[in-house]
Structure 1
Amino acid sequence: MDRRFIGNFKLPPASYGAIFGILTLTLWVALYDRVLVPKILATKLLNHPNGIPNKHRMGIGLLISCLATAVAGAVEHRRRWTAATGRIMSANWLIPQHCLTGLGEAFSIIGQIEFYYSQFPPSMRSVAMALVSLGLGAGNLAGSLIVSVVDDITGKGGGRVSWVGNDLNRGHYDYYYWLLAVLSVGNFFYYLVCSWAYGSDDRKLWDAVEVGSGDDDEAGREMKIVV
């Protein structure tokens, strides 16, 4: 692929996700927190202090991740066709999928962190980041497992080339991305079931009440379950 970005300036192959994904995430968080929530969402449209409720934000993030993998499959399909005709495709076509990935993370990951912070008692809020990191680690392991399974199934017998082989033009990474899109859609519906089973995130499972006095705020608090 032609990696020229502006003029003759070329971006390193591995930097597209880091640059455009993180840039999109950063810009969206700033725009959402400083403009959309205080001036539009919290006052005029949704009348919610956090703008979009946390569970809705996580769901939107999952939907965007489905779209990102589908777009990645379409771009890869186009790249293979371009390579077969002897032409070179611009690597800038990779930018939309990485921007969508960053936007999906801005919705899902940050919404997940804020959800944990709103539902956990103060003494357990440090667990929120641990749970997010645990989920990311489990996702990476699941991704490695999917790659191994796809490689074993699609590369067996008859001289077939694996979808995720080293030769991009002979492999079918477009099929692999579309498989991930289907799995992401299934994950989204699973999330809907879990979200429905949990109920409203406006309710507080825990509440902190003052039971004593003293200079140390933490010493004068105990946790109780609100039913």
Structure 2
Amino acid sequence: MSRITPDFKPCIVIPVYNHEHAIGQVVAGLKGFALPCLLIDDGSRPSCQQVLEQLAQAENHWLSLKRLAVNQGKGGAVSAGLLWAEQLGYSHAIQIDADGQHHTPDMHQFIAAAQNAPKALIAGQPVYDASVPKGRLYGRYLTHIWVWINTLSLAIKDSMCGFRVYPLTATCALLRRSQLGSRMDFDVEIMVRLHWAGIGIQQLPTPVQYPLDGVSHFAVWRDNLLISRMHAKLFFGMLWRSPILIARWFRA
């Protein structure tokens, strides 16, 4: 069970888009943590909407549901969930995916790390099994290189894992002042921008499998294009921040 104090009041945020066959098992695996859970229905089809409504009714003492009328993409759904969590008075939000790829027992160590470093972003560093598509695995290395360039640092080992604990004050302030990507580019961009803002980042190894229900919303051409555009935008953002980033590197 998680220790909740006035200064550390975490919740769970799960963006959901057409994962009706996996979300029940994911929710069941989280119940023992005794944390409030916010489900964000990102414009799912009726069959998924029905499953989410049933879960919210059955688990209404700890699970809440927010529906987005139009699909926003993963980043849009996560942003909506983080802002909602802050509005409800939570200090931290644990983001976890709805498809069952994340290892929920590792929540214990993620929560402990966030308690010990409440102002830091705690993020997963994936340990993959044989279920990961090889193209996706090798493609991640290109993003790693661009992130190291755009932060002038090797501090971020993996920027694409969606298993994270966000400090809500700093994260929601960033969401309000910056227009971030709303799809699969979101996880990378928000991590780089939090690093730029001086937020500490801790990464914890965690197993990742692909996915329980066989549903992936990664659109190869669209999302790779969005990620490429994001890296270009971040590169130019890095250039004018480079004196600060270089000075930070020397201090470290």
TM-score range (shorter-chain normalised) is under 0.3
TM-score, normalised via structure 2 length: 0.20
Considering fraction of residues, name the structure with more strand: 2
Q: Which has the larger radius of gyration?
A: 1
Task: Determine which structure has the larger helix proportion and give its number.
Answer: 1
